[in-house]
Amino acid sequence: MNTQWGLSARGEYVDDNDGLITGLTGNQLKELTLTASYKPDAPMTLMAEVRQDKSDQPIFNKNGSPASNQTSLELQAVYSF
């Protein structure tokens, strides 16, 4: 957007056919993350991310019950040196 503000998106897809990652065979995982970033000063970057995870099988915990999706929000402060 400019030198202080940024916006990015990324997606991931994992085909866990043999169950090596999740322990469940035939599972497919999809993820989408949107990130907004702000650099108030040269060494500091502030970021907010929202992430949506989706699975073919209920591998996530939602209020104590298995769920096939989850949404998370992360706030980050990064100091580079």
In this prediction, residues 9-19 reach a mean pLDDT of: 93
- Dihedral class, residue 17 (left if φ above 0, else alpha if ψ from -120 to 50, else beta): alpha
* pLDDT over threshold 90, residue 2: no
Interatomic CA distance for residues 6 and 54, integer angstroms: 26
Enumerate the domain spans of the chain.
5-79
Of all residues in the chain, the percent with pLDDT exceeding 70 is 100
pLDDT 10s digits, 35-68: 999 999 889 999 999 999 999 999 999 999 999 9
**What pTM, to 2 d.p., does this model score?**
0.80
- Residue 75 has a pLDDT of 98
* pLDDT over threshold 90, residue 22: no
- Dihedral class, residue 59 (left if φ above 0, else alpha if ψ from -120 to 50, else beta): alpha
